[in-house]
A and B are shown apart, each in its own frame.
Chain A
Amino acid sequence: MQIYLPIAEVSVNAFLLFGLGGMVGILSGMFGVGGGFLMTPLLFFIGIPPAVAVATEANQIVASSFSGVLAHLKRKTVDFRMGFVLMGGGIVGAALGIVLFNFLRSLGQVELLVSLCYVVFLGVVGTLMFIESLRAIRRTRNPGALPLPKRRQRSWVHALPFKMKFRTSGLYISVIPPLLVGACVGVLAAIMGVGGGFIMVPAMIYILGMPTKVVVGTSLLQIIAVTAFTTLMHATTNQTVDMALALLLLVGGVLGAQIGTRIGVHLKAEQLRILLALMVLGVCFKLAFDLLVQPSELFSIGTGGGH
């Protein structure tokens, strides 16, 4: 069944969109990631204009994150105070990201920026995750051989001024690092059309030293705020949010996420993480390959004039 998307102005198969939404939903349910980093490149691939794909994906992430945060609220695993600090940084970052995005769009370099961001961040995160989960698997094979490295109790994070008490996380740290983490993720969300969970979660654990239990719920809170803000900014400055596309992806995504959560229960945490790492690296290599190998068509058409 072909559906004509009113903003993207392309006709696509509705079942294909359901399928994509479902597939990414299963993965996001299994691994607890938003899936934006997979969905946005897939949308490029099926012919959705990049600007529309990035803006619409932000809107879709609002939905899936909202569904997720409700579950965490019930379990009381959301640190609201930390969430609001991250949000503050995130919204400033997203505003900067949109300005950068529009500037590069006028130069015709937005595709390059998006691809480079993906390659760098997916490459780094994927590699770290892969190494870490390999170690974890080795640990479970011969227990006692490698004790867990103790986390440093005092780092540069604790030496900064403007300290604040985060009761749910049990932390007393400066607000500067969470603001910076929030801002960085905000910039990425605006440019890459992702929630940024795959960067934020490690940053919250390793830089801020938050307990793992509250990390996912709190990061979802920040992701909702940033992607909602990004959606509004893209909608008002570029008119590139496609409501019909977002709805189609949502339906598939929501169903897929529920299935994925059930599959995830049957897999071991280390196995899950190594699979996720491989997937992240796969997307990274594909994008890097496209940048490095001579394209068959050197020319591309952009709509509108830059003037």
Chain B
Amino acid sequence: MLWRALILTLLSALPLHGEEVVAGLSQARVSINTTFSGSEILIFGAVKREAPLPTTDLDVIVTVSSPLAPVTVRKKDRRLGIWVNTDSAQIDYAPSFYAVRATKALSEILAPAQDFEYGISIPRAIRASRAQIVTPQSSEFLQALIRIRSNEGAYQQAPNSIELTEDTLFRANIALPANLTEGDYKTRIFLLRNNQVIDAYETTIDVRKVGLERWIYNLAHQQPLLYGLLSLALAIAAGWSASAVFRLFRG
């Protein structure tokens, strides 16, 4: 009986080290309307603590990821004097947007095994969801994907970008770009000590097209024929009115 009670108390004492993250977002919903030009999201929170403050350093990592989608990465090579796509690799699950914010450089505060388990750094976030083993050849394509999307600002990894006050309060800013795709953006917050994740918190940012954007997108995908006819009608009306206006000016 005694060992059972012991396990119960241990369970209730979870999370380990007795520290827990409580967090909020400045907005849980991003609406893409016609004039959408990106959005700034503030992620803030505090560390709830029942035991006295441990002596080791506390670190925080925040990640925001768009829904995962398959992508094909293609490589050009010279054939008959011109540059042609010759080789390609499919990456089954890659976010179109991924941002990592941390109190220090990721390599300093995150053990590789933990990174592998939680899929935190950019290469892990892509690879994490892949079942198959990455060969050196496919890692060339993976690196290209990360390089291109990082240059576009779609993948962001910034060390020292979280303010942590008194080992308790933290805040991170994430700028969502204008070229955002729809979906549930998974937002995760990790607390770390000794390179180990001691607590994690997960929430979603709901990114949706609204208004006219929503209507056009839905129509194009649900009633493609009607949408095509409507596009034509618009074009013909525009062409007709242009010549009518021109005639008015002349006459």
CB of B164 to closest CB in A, whole Å: 33
Q: Is the CB of B37 within 8 A of A2?
A: yes
Contact of A301 among B37, B148, B180, B234 (CB under 8 A): B148
Check A267 for interface membership: any CB of B closer than 8 A. Answer: no
Query: Which residues of B202-227 have CB atoms within 8 Å of chain A's CB atoms?
Result: 209, 212-214, 216-217, 220-221, 224-225, 227
Binds B, one of A7-15, A147-155, A275-283: A7-15
Mark contacts of B24-39 with chain A using CB atoms, 8 A cut-off: 1 yes-contact digit, 0 otherwise.
0000000011111110
Interface residues in B181-236 by Cβ distance below 8 A to A read 181, 209, 212-214, 216-217, 220-221, 224-225, 227-232, 234-236
A59-67, A188-196, A199-207 - interface stretch: A59-67
CA distance A2 to B34 in the complex (A): 8
Q: Are B235 and A71 touching (Cβ within 8 A)?
A: no
Whether A306 is near chain B, meaning CB under 8 Å from some CB there, is yes
Interface-located stretch among B14-22, B52-60, B64-72, B126-134: B64-72
Chain B residues near A265: list those with CB within 8 A. Answer: none
Chain A hits for B242, CB < 8 A: 63, 67, 254, 257-258
Q: Find residues 128-169 in chain B having any chain A CB closer than 8 Å to their own CB.
A: 141, 144-145, 147-149
- The yes or no answer to B73 lying at the interface (CB within 8 A) is yes
The distance in angstroms between the C-alpha atoms of A275 and B56, with both chains bound, is 73
Q: Which of B71, B82, B149 contacts A304 (CB 8 A)?
A: B71
Per the bound structure, the CA–CA distance linking A244 and B34 in Å amounts to 9
* Least CB separation from A106: chain B residue: B72
B85 beta carbon closer than 8 Å to chain A:
yes
Q: Is B48 an interface residue (CB 8 A)?
A: no
| A231–B228 CA distance with the chains assembled, in angstroms | 7
- By beta carbon, the residue of chain B nearest A232 is B228
CB of A305 closer than 8 Å to a CB of B: yes
Supposing A65-B239, A304-B70 touch, asked if A235 and B234 sit within 8 A by C-beta, the answer is: no
The bracket for how many chain A residues form the interface is 35 or more
Residue in B35, B90, B178 whose beta carbon sits within 8 Å of that of A306 in the complex? B90
A109 on the B face (CB < 8 A)? yes
Q: Does A145 contact B (CB under 8 A)?
A: no
A305 / chain B contacts, CB cutoff of 8 Å: 70-72, 90, 92
A4-B33 contact in complex given A71-B243, A303-B71, A306-B90, C-beta closer than 8 Å: yes
**Contact status A298-B33, CB under 8 Å:** no
Asked if B213 and A6 make an inter-chain contact with CB atoms under 8 angstroms apart, the answer reads yes
Query: Do B227 and A66 touch across chains, with their CB atoms under 8 A apart?
Result: no
State whether the Cβ of A295 lies closer than 8 Å to any Cβ in chain B.
Answer: yes
Q: Which residues of B sit under 8 angstroms from A297, Cβ to Cβ?
A: 144, 148
Question: When chains A and B are docked, how far (Å) is the Cα of A9 from the Cα of B118?
Answer: 30
> How close is A178's CB to chain B, nearest CB, in angstroms?
24
Residue of A6, A71, A294 near B217 (CB, 8 A) is A6
Which A residues are CB-close (under 8 A) to B240?
66-67, 70
Instruction: Please give me the 9 A-B residue pairs with the lowest Cβ-Cβ distance, nearest first.
Output: A235-B228, A66-B239, A11-B178, A299-B144, A63-B235, A67-B239, A254-B242, A305-B70, A2-B37
What are 17 sample pairs from A and B whose C-beta atoms fall under 8 A apart?
A: A6-B212, A9-B179, A9-B180, A11-B179, A63-B234, A63-B242, A112-B85, A232-B225, A232-B229, A237-B224, A239-B224, A241-B220, A258-B246, A292-B81, A299-B74, A302-B74, A305-B72
Residues on A lying within 8 angstroms of B by beta carbon are: 1-4, 6-7, 9-11, 59-60, 62-68, 70-71, 108-109, 111-112, 228, 231-232, 234-237, 239, 241, 243-244, 246-247, 250-251, 254, 257-258, 291-295, 297-307
